[in-house]
Amino acid sequence: MDKKYLVKTAQDLVTDTKGILAADESTGTIKKRFDNIGVESTPENHRRYRQLLFTTPEIEKYIGGVIMFDETIRQYSDDGKHFPELLEERGIMTGIKVDKGKVDFPNFPKEKLTKGLDGLEEKLEEYRELGARFSKWRAVIPVGGGSVARPALTANMKNLAIYAAFAQNAEIVPIVEPEVLIDGDHSVEKCEKVTRNTLEVLFTELYDYKVILEGLILKVNMIVPGRDNPNKLSPKEIAEHTVRVMKDSVSVAVPSVVYLSGGLSPVQSTEYLDAINKLGPHPWELNFSFGRALQEPVLEAWQGKDENIEIAQREFIKRAKLNSLALKGEYRSEMENE
């Protein structure tokens, strides 16, 4: 294991001007996205859409890495370039989702366990050969009206740490993603409490498995009330809750914390990210790794039609640029109409 390489890669992946595009939708998830716009979900249409994203002019100004799904990392552009090669030529790192999704956690209704450790070592070696320099594993933590089951939480955080250790051993920077879900009517205080508890357990496991904190990236939810909670907070209030949890729970050895959009709208995601960075300086890069919040306007513009590619790419670069400005606390709402 080359610790210096891992640390440098983690530092280079996100900066104060570039974030991460999460284009790692599973086959089932991208089918839902395509169903919404009336496009058949086939490997070829998936490839056409990802090519639209990856070939957007000036994407390299605002995106430093792209997380792919297994299908995508094996695909090629129209001109015969392997997608990781196409991105590398533009100075963008390739990442790969390595978990295998969720299963029900026995004896704990509504709790889930992320699977994928079996064969992980061999998979990581293969993905490195295919061009991956970083990877991602997601665990989901429900809130709802009750408390999170400790056995399920511990098991998920232990799996995240084991995954991170395997990734670093393969000289791939791990993104560890414990997502406290937005589903429910819980308060922002409940989200804060559950997220803090989740991070406490996660870092205990990371220490126990001797994961190099300087060579990983934490991907986490912002601290927001549940989707069905009528009490809506301002971006500044969201930012204050979020930064407080980061300061209480995240080691300063971690170079970057990237936020997921997790059910937030594209505009909300950017507003909250901007407010978070306005509270800086912070001991970490507080950045973004957005999926739907970057892609939703793109899919609506594209509609699966080649004649819409240019306008769809304009939507993509607009959202990427606005989030890049938010990294410096320079986003303004009026920019949405420019």
What is the set of active-site residues? 177, 219
**DSSP-derived pairing of the beta strands 173-180 and 256-259:** unpaired
Confirm if 36 and 88 have CB atoms less than 8 A apart: no
Q: 130-153 in b/e burial notation, b at 16+ Cβ within 10 A?
A: bbbbbbbbbbbbbbeeeebbeebb
Backbone angles phi, psi at 208, to 5 degrees: -60, -35
Q: List, in sequence order, every residue forming a beta bridge with 217; answer none if it has no partner.
A: 175, 256
Residue 61's contacts (CB-CB under 8 Å, 6 or more residues apart) are: 17, 18, 320, 321, 324
Please list the residues that pair with 220 across neighbouring strands.
259
Rg (CA), the chain: 19
Query: Any idea how long the chain is?
Result: 338
Cα-Cα-Cα-Cα torsion 76, 82, 87, 88, nearest 10 degrees, comes to 180
How many CA within 13 A on the CB side of residue 79? 4
135: CB partners within 8 A, 6+ apart: 95, 96, 97, 98, 124, 127, 167, 172, 173, 174, 175
Q: State how far the Cα of 85 lies from the Cα of 96, in Å rounded to an integer.
A: 14
Task: Report whether 99 contacts 53 (CB < 8 A).
Answer: no
